[in-house]
Amino acid sequence: MPTEHAIRLGAMSFSKLEGTGGLKAALDRFRWFYLGAEFCENLLRETLCDDIVRFQGKGKKVCLLTPPLSEKGASRLKKIFSTLHTLHKAGEVDFSRLELSINDFAALELARACKLEVNISAGRIFYENVFTQHRGHIHALSRQALDYFRSLGITRYDISVPGKIPLSNFASKPCGLGKPGFNFSLHYPYLNLTTTRTCMVGMPDIRPHQSIDGINCRHECRACAFQVAHPWIRENLLVRGNTIFLKFHGKRSFSEKELNELRVDRLVYCPFP
């Protein structure tokens, strides 16, 4: 099966992409559009449903990115899921062309509660429940972990790799994992290194014993990322919101053989971290 190509727009809306003049080129090049908030619940917005309708109206498939959740984020996501269910019943959203990427078990439970009958994948934070990635290697933890996630309906995992295709413990045959039965969506050229619950950029200082209830994020991360350097680290790092990224420069080109061996059947281009 040929590799699918996707673009991760994140919090960028259909209208914003259209306003930049890049909509036609994106529609011509990409089959999948990744929308939503992958790392931070403060970026969840109900207007995502309108964007899903508009991209599907252009004949495209959409993956809705969802972040780790607190009670605040769960409430927002429940409204989004309920709206999507209503739109599906009205024939405006096609569940067969909608995928859900989760980074929290709560998102999975909410999807079930809201009767969101869509394919579900494990996000770039959540996949570490099943795989480890270290020093150019990616390993499936166990057959039991794969089987458990498969029982939840999850057979696709979002990942990033450190510059080149890593070695794995499931490419060779036999690999001791049985029939792996999973695929990867590979995000590039940014590798997410670490994510926190708080944000250095958009959240005000919270004093001891002060509740976060009622404190609103200013969404500075939607404007830009900040480059940071440290004498102990050779590469410059990028901070966007609550996540630190590493960008790999130069032409990113993966052979079909490399992608097939790693079980990658979808490449997700990220124009920004």
Higher pLDDT, 202 or 216: 216
Indicate whether 52 pLDDT > 70. yes
Note the pLDDT tens digit of each residue in 11-36: 999 999 999 999 999 999 999 999 99
Q: What is the mean pLDDT of residues 107-129?
A: 97
pLDDT band at 261 (very low <50, low <70, confident <90, very high): confident
- What's the confidence (pLDDT) of residue 10? 94
Interior/surface letters 44-82, b for 16+ CB within 10 angstroms, e for the rest: bbeebbbbbbbbbeeebbbbbbbbbbeeebbebbbebbb
Nearest by Cα to 34 from 161, 158, 191 = 158
Q: Taking a C-beta distance cutoff of 8 angstroms, is the pair 273, 238 a contact?
A: yes
Close Cβ partners of 132 (under 8 Å, ≥ 6 residues apart): 138, 139, 141
- Least confident among 97-101, 123-127, 172-176, 208-212: 172-176
Per-residue pLDDT at 218: 79
pLDDT at position 1 is 66
pLDDT tens digit sequence for 106-116? 999 999 999 99
Q: What is the band of 118 on the pLDDT scale with cuts at 50, 70, 90?
A: very high
What pairing do the DSSP bridges indicate for beta strands 183-188 and 137-140? unpaired
Residues with Cβ < 8 Å from 179, sequence gap 6 or more?
A: none
What the chain holds in terms of domains, given with CATH numbers, is 4-189+249-269 (3.20.20)
